[in-house]
Amino acid sequence: MSEGAETKWPNRLATRDAYGDALLQLGAERPDVVVLDADLSGSTRTGRFAEKYPERFFNAGIAEQNMINMAAGLAVGGKIPFASTFAIFATGRAWEQIRNTVASGRLPVRIVASHAGLTVGADGSSHQALEDIALMRVIAGMTVVVPKDAPETERVIREVVDWPGPVYVRLGRAKVPVISPKGAEFSVGKGEVLRDGDDVAIVACGVMVAESLLAADRLAAEGIAARVINMATVKPLDDDMLRQAASECGAVVTAEEHNVIGGLGSAVCESIAETQPVPVRRIGVDDVFGQSGDPADLLHAYGLTADAIFEAARDLVKKG
Amino acid sequence: MIRRHIIRSTAEAGSGHPGGSLSCADIMALLYFHVLQMRPQDPGWQERDRFLLAKGHAAPALYAALAERGFFPAEELLNLRRLGAILQGHPDMTRTPGVEASTGSLGQGLSVAVGMALAGKLDSADYGVYALLGDGEIQEGQVWEAAMAAAHYRLDNLVAFVDYNRLQIDGPVDKVMSPSPVPEKWKAFGWRVFEADGHNIPGMNTVVRSAQEAEKPAVIIAHTVKGKGVSYMEDQVQWHGKAPDGQLVAQALQELESVQEVTDDE
């Protein structure tokens, strides 16, 4: 994380840990919830549910395609399946299973994938999904959620249990700042204004929300009032909130831990190009693969920082 | 009757897969008239047996069986593959009463059936889950992931059929990519394996009863003839994905009519 994050948000938790806890709670409340994994239950934290409710946990082994379709079959049989593995395998390896069996059948399979993005760290490019938002967003009827921190993840998991149709939730491996105040709400499809301002809007998801708030602090020091929007639901997108932000701020910066092609930045551009066209700058991975390294170093190396957001926003405001 | 529906509906649609539909017509007749407990007027009945057509391109055979069992009027069969029709080119659970899961992409169905059988186990339900796979389909690696899982979870409520008609689009299965030895592979994956003449309904019925009694997942390798019942289609790979037209439709229906009479006399 960028400088200042630790002072601002001393608590750090991984979203996957929050997922593991949320599943445990759901397990107690909802007998129809079942969980599947593909030999990564320790990493995705579904192992906690497996330990407590072994009869409702199904390990597919290293067979992601079979896992997704078993989840589909369990959904056909009236269960609410949560299927987890790393994001690259869930959305890449099993894409066509998700598209043709899960989504086309409008089945309530919840694909909750961890280890998305560069913050996977040392495992390197093969395990860093930078395309998963795009791959899921393009499927008809798929809901795509990218929580910013652990408390939001817990609320997302509870919110999506009864959400109609398939859902993709993107989680990370690394511990990230806890930004959400206690008791903050989450609704699928609703953006969250974390800071108000009308010079420029910063629209972010996942780990980049914290970076956006840091960038907003620096912009404020230069007299620029930035509106920071946490767009945890990438699909369905909160078009109304975006149109209003574009209209009132006149410029938009997007920030995501994903390829700038096909992810949140693309979604925002598609939305406001049709409703309220304004200049946009997209911060994200610039159409390259990742590599091994420390998560924080990787974010810096690939320009996913508060600095990059700050500069993009300042440039846009100056031009305006 | 199922065969004549297949010919009429694919001819009317001008496309479809008559060959692989005709090869499994007797398996469908067996399942829908002798094996599956279901209530056509209440397709969602909780205790019903579940059937899943993994080889989704044989949809005309499934639709014919569903229509004959009264899930929808037989006239619907003539709207096969038409815009807005409830009968899609491949089975669609969101449109067709009696279709348990959407299929069509080969290799996925058995995994879905495994999930359905797991759900049955969780609910301590008595229903059985049945799936029909193509012989070409078992070239898909995912079929073997599913086979492994079914044995691992001891799914004795799951019975799979393989429509072993020995032909796929590009030619003989053994020439394109041989899955042989098929019975040995299923055995090695932990399944009870049965073989049957896929056009002998009473014979298959006896085998199904044994398969249901198996203490683990069971597969019935049904030896069939692609295009069965229509002389110019039998064992002819070019009828995999092409609908008959004109005089050929009349000939096919006439041939099936005479077979029907013989069967009725028995």
**Cα A185 to the chain's mean position, in Å?**
16
Q: Range with the lowest mean pLDDT among A247-251, B174-178, B256-260?
A: B256-260
Residues on chain A touching B92 (C-beta within 8 angstroms): 104
Q: Which of A3, A29, A51, A64 is catalytic?
A: A64
User: Strand, helix or coil at B97?
Assistant: coil
* Nearest residue to B195 via CA among B164, B220, B224: B220
B108 and A101 within 8 Å at the Cβ level: the answer is: yes
pLDDT digits (tens, 9 = 90+) for B203-218: 999 999 999 999 999 9
Terminal Cα-to-Cα distance of chain B (whole angstroms): 16
Q: Give the predicted TM-score (pTM) of the model.
A: 0.96
Q: What's the confidence (pLDDT) of residue B264?
A: 47
For each of the domains in chain A, give its residue range(s) and CATH number, in order of start. Answer: 12-177 (3.40.50.970), 192-319 (3.40.50.920)
The pLDDT score that the predictor gives to residue A183 is 78
- The pLDDT of residue B265 is above 80: no
Provide the pLDDT for residue B262.
Answer: 53
* Beta-carbon separation of B145 and A65 below 8 A: yes
In this structure, what token pair is assigned to residue A314? 């300042």
All residues of chain B having their beta carbon less than 8 Å from the beta carbon of residue A33 are: none
CA atoms within 13 Å, Cβ hemisphere of A191: 27
Tens place of pLDDT per residue across chain A (320 aa): 788 889 999 999 999 999 999 999 999 999 999 999 999 999 999 999 999 999 999 999 999 999 999 999 999 999 999 999 999 999 999 999 999 999 999 999 999 999 999 999 999 999 999 999 999 999 999 999 999 999 999 999 999 999 999 999 999 999 999 999 877 889 999 999 999 999 999 999 999 999 999 999 999 999 999 999 999 999 999 999 999 999 999 999 999 999 999 999 999 999 999 999 999 999 999 999 999 999 999 999 999 999 999 999 999 999 87
Distance from CA of B260 to the nearest CA of A (A): 36
Q: Which of B63, B83, B62 is nearest to B72 (CA)?
A: B63
Rounded Cα distance, B143 and B145, in Å: 5
Q: What is residue B266's predicted lDDT score, i.e. its pLDDT? A: 39
CB pairs under 8 A between A and B: 103
Mutate to test the interface with A, among B94, B145, B153 (most CBs of A within 10 A): B145
Q: What is the pLDDT at residue A20? A: 98
Beta strands A200-204 and A80-84: pairing type?
Answer: unpaired
**How many separate domains does chain B show?**
1
User: Which residues numbered 95-124 in A keep a CB inside 8 Å of some CB on B?
Assistant: 96-97, 100-101, 104-106
Which of left, alpha, beta for A61 (phi over 0: left; psi -120 to 50: alpha)?
Answer: left
Model confidence at B260, pLDDT cuts 50, 70, 90, reads low
Question: Could you tell me which residues come within 8 angstroms of residue A302 by beta carbon, excluding any fewer than 6 positions away?
Answer: A118, A285, A286, A288, A290
| pLDDT tens sequence across B187-208 | 999 999 999 999 999 999 999 9
State the smallest CA–CA distance between residue A247 and chain B in angstroms: 40
Measured in degrees and rounded to the nearest 5, phi and psi for residue A302 equal -100, 10
How many residues are there in chain B? 266
Rounded CA-CA distance A258/A206 in Å is 10
- For residue A159, indicate whether it is catalytic: no
Contacts of A130 (CB under 8 A, 6+ apart): A117, A118, A257, A258, A259, A285, A289, A290
ipTM of the complex model: 0.94
Predicted confidence (pLDDT) at residue B100 exceeds the cutoff of 70: yes
A253 contacts A112 by C-beta, under 8 angstroms:
no
Crossing angle (nearest 10°) for helices A150-160 and A15-29: 40
Cβ(A239)–Cβ(A264) under 8 Å? no
**CB-nearest partner of B113 from A60, A73, A78:** A73
The sign one gets for the Cα dihedral B207, B208, B209, B214 is positive
DSSP A263-301: SHHHHHHHHHHHHS---EEEEEE-S----SS-HHHHHHH
Give me the residue from A55, A70, A106 closest to B115, CB to CB.
A70
A85 near B CB under 8 A? no
pLDDT value of position A32: 98
> Domain of B133?
2-265
Task: Give A101→chain B minimum CA distance, Å.
Answer: 6
CATH number of the domain within which B172 lies? 3.40.50.970
Interchain pair B115, A73: CB under 8 A: yes
- Among A37, A76, A79, A99, pick the best mutation site for testing chain B contact (most B Cβ within 10 A): A76
* Shortest alpha-carbon distance between residue A140 and chain B (Å): 14
Closest CA to B138 of B50, B226, B219: B219
Dump pLDDT digits (tens) for B56-88.
Answer: 999 999 999 999 999 999 999 999 999 999 999
**Residue A79 touches partner B, C-beta closer than 8 Å:** yes
Instruction: Check residue A174 and give left, alpha or beta (phi > 0: left; psi -120 to 50: alpha).
Output: beta
Whether chain B has a CB inside 8 Å of the CB on A148: the answer is no
